[in-house]
Chains A and B, each alone.
Chain A
């Protein structure tokens, strides 16, 4: 079956530091890949996505590249802000005929001033 593995948190950084959150996946075929963010007390928001190999998704300074050869979709940001503190979820959809998501366990990011 499908699965997503993320690095465990929390990840603690100072403002303006470089961020990497690792994500690898197992899936049949060629899934679409996503990063979602969950701020405290809120639902999930789509941060970025990539639908085929070598695609780069980007949004709000965050980037992730779909690497088929390493089955990875690592999230990066060059300079984090305190407002980026949240839980980040890597997810995939295997296009099995209807859109459902398989999520990783999430990685909490804490950014201090």
Chain B
């Protein structure tokens, strides 16, 4: 069973640029959630995708957008990068649909630095 993988591991961008981060979910999982973890802080929920549709969103502006593909992998896109977007971006996959909490399995994260 393959765990959650993310790419790239590290990324450096400049202010105003756009970035795409990728996540492959764990085998058998149908849901991907994205979190932003600023330095010294806990992860903050960005959004979740369930069966290719956005299933919930945290307090993040529209320049944060995402996709989920038929194989349940996912992308996080951030437009017009700002310095405060520098953070570790975590992807988590789960198997949803039973109506109760289902454990989320986290990837190692992508470290984004905006200069």
Interface residues in chain A, defined as those with a beta carbon under 8 Å from any beta carbon in chain B: 4, 32, 41-46, 49, 51, 89, 91, 93, 95-106
Q: A101-B35, A103-B43 are in contact. List 4 more A-B contacts (CB 8 A).
A: A97-B56, A100-B56, A101-B43, A106-B42
Question: Across the two chains, which residue of chain A brings its CB closest to B6?
Answer: A43
| Cα A4 to Cα B44 with chains together (Å) | 12
**19 sample A-B contacts, Cβ–Cβ < 8 Å, listed by A number:** A32-B101, A43-B107, A43-B108, A44-B43, A44-B90, A51-B101, A91-B42, A97-B56, A97-B99, A99-B33, A99-B103, A100-B48, A100-B58, A101-B43, A103-B35, A103-B44, A105-B42, A106-B40, A106-B42
B66 at the interface (CB under 8 A from A): no
Q: Nearest Cβ in chain A — how far from B19, in angstroms? A: 19
**Chain B contact residue count (CB 8 A cutoff):** 29
Interface residues in chain B, defined as those with a beta carbon under 8 Å from any beta carbon in chain A: 4, 31, 33, 35, 40-45, 48, 50, 55-56, 58, 90, 92, 94, 96, 99-104, 106-109
| Cα A69 to Cα B78 with chains together (Å) | 41
Question: Across the two chains, which residue of chain B brings its CB closest to A46?
Answer: B103
| Cα A95 to Cα B43 with chains together (Å) | 18
Q: Nearest Cβ in chain A — how far from B96, in angstroms? A: 6
A32, A89, A98 pick with most chain B CB within 10 angstroms: A98
**CB contact between A95 and one of B31, B33, B45, B101 (< 8 Å): that residue:** B101
